[in-house]
Amino acid sequence: MEITSSLSLDSDTASASSVTSGYESATPASDHGWDNLVKKYDVVLQDCLQNNRTHTKIESMMLQLQRLQQKAILDDDYDAAERFGKKLEELCRERGALQLGLPSRRPSVAQFLDRLRHVVHSALQRADCSQSREGAEPDGGERSDSLQGPLHQRDRLVREKRTVEGEIAELQQRLAELKGRSRCLEQQIQQEEQQLEAEELEGSVMRSCTVAQLRDVSRTLQELVTSEHRMQISVSLPPSMLRLQEQEQALNLSIKEATAKVVMSQRLGSSLRRKVSETETQLLALHEAKLAAISGNDFSSAKELKAEMRAVYQEQGRLEALAKRLHSLSSGSSEELARMKEQRQQLRQELEQREALHESRLKENTTKYIELLEDRLHSCICPGLERIWEADLEACHLFLRGLQLRTPSCGGADGEDPPAAAVYRPAQPCTKEEEDCAMLTALGGRWCPEANLQNSEFTKLMSKESDSSLTHPAQSLENEVQEVKATLQTMLRQLKEEEEEGTELIEDGLMKNGIEEEEEEEEEEDEEEEDQYFSDSWDI
């Protein structure tokens, strides 16, 4: 199931929504220096935002599928519950494959921001030391000359690296030494490339910004890049929670196996009890046949019947022993199952507590980082940096939206929006067609523009579940009260009927007991005569 492709928005639309968020730059539109510098990171920014959007949609669909699964279990529709469970597992795997986080904390963007900080700092120092503008032109010429040196140096290092790689192929015995040398040269190449980029970045900054603007950019970078709340924003679960989830999954598998054993032992016990009951019926029939043979003086048949009864008695004893042993094993398995369920409950409680703590910290850090971003975006003068901060802002709002989806109290109609909802307008919401497309693909279907999703089984179930969740709680409470009243009235009627039947059965039982006692006395006399007959015959 390719959920990433189904949930992805158009790249142009996503890019436009990230850039055109309402914050206008103070620099002229003709200056494309910043755009050229940040353009290479647009793919990283949009990829990170797309992963965050996809994660939010998957969370929403998983919550709906969980409610549908619970409803199917209550309706005893276990096939649908199993189907929903498989879809949930697929969505969980897709969610785990996503890389979440702030766009500005991606390695390439973070390195760019760090280099920009150092460049701005050095540019400020150089601007403070310069006395006249004429002195900047020779400086620019020296900088252009200095660019040629690193280029030649880089080319030389690249050629040397290729030579080293050829020697590695020819001389296998020097493989370890040449690999180390290759790594060293690779680091030097990266350093030279970073130096070239830093010098190019410094030239663009010096040409497009004044000293006052450089001071403002430096202050903004210092506050945002080194922000404690930004560093603590992490959507991924900590390793301790991941270990708890793995333990819970392993425990769920053990509980499933133990439950299967208990159910199987109960079935076998029921089968053994049924066979024991059948042997009792068979013994009664054989006993009646033996009495009939004795009364007809057919003693050979009576002897055969008695031998057959002895075999049935042995079989009955064996079955009863098996039933007792199975009952002991079943009781042990039941105790083990109860212990594992209790352990799972404790594990879930601990996991829920840690999840609540993680979500509260994430919400607090995200909210404070949003406030800092919005404060700086209003006064941002660099279009390139503005695009990075806008991407961070949209990612933060997606994080808060995901937290609201997981919190029932925050998802109602009366729930309050995040503090920055009035200022920041996130990306345009998906249309109904796009949501149906994403949902159908996530549930294992295949999307085409001509498909009519109104007739889709999962779409209908989702819409019914959403409609039912929006009904007033008072109506459901009133329905539950009426059901309880009807159940109580039915139970009262059944109790009255059972009391009347019980009195009749007691009277009938008293009458039957007298008759059965007389029959038992006659059977005991016949058995004494039979035993005396067989003992005499065995003596002979």
pLDDT digits (tens, 9 = 90+) for 131-176: 455 554 555 555 555 556 677 888 888 888 888 887 777 777 767 7
Long-range contacts of 504-510, Cβ-Cβ distance < 8 Å, separation of 24 or more:
none
Distance CA 357, CA 353 (A): 6
pLDDT band at residue 425 under the 50/70/90 scheme: very low
More confident residue, 208 or 196: 196
Bin 144: left if φ > 0, else alpha if -120 < ψ < 50, else beta. Answer: alpha
Q: Residue 404: which of 391, 393, 394, 417 has the closest Cα?
A: 417
pLDDT for position 145: 56
DSSP string spanning 410-467?
GSSTTPPPPTTTTT---SPPPPHHHHHHHHHHHTT----TT--GGG-HHHHHHHHHHH
Distance CA 458, CA 220 (A): 48
pLDDT digits (tens, 9 = 90+) for 466-479: 555 445 445 655 67
Q: What percent of the chain has pLDDT over 70?
A: 64
More confident residue, 407 or 76: 76
pLDDT digits (tens, 9 = 90+) for 218-255: 787 787 888 888 888 887 888 888 898 899 999 999 99
Q: Cβ(294)–Cβ(530) under 8 Å?
A: yes
Neighbour count for residue 178 (Cβ, 10 Å): 19
pLDDT for position 350: 92
- Residue 336 DSSP SS3: helix
- Span 78-105, average pLDDT: 87
pLDDT for position 455: 43
pLDDT digits (tens, 9 = 90+) for 293-328: 888 878 888 888 888 889 989 998 998 888 888 888
**Mean pLDDT highest for which of 2-16, 332-346, 444-458?**
332-346
pLDDT for position 342: 92
pLDDT for position 148: 65
pLDDT for position 536: 41
Token pair, residue 85, equals 């469970």
Q: Residue 112: which of 176, 186, 40 has the closest Cα?
A: 40
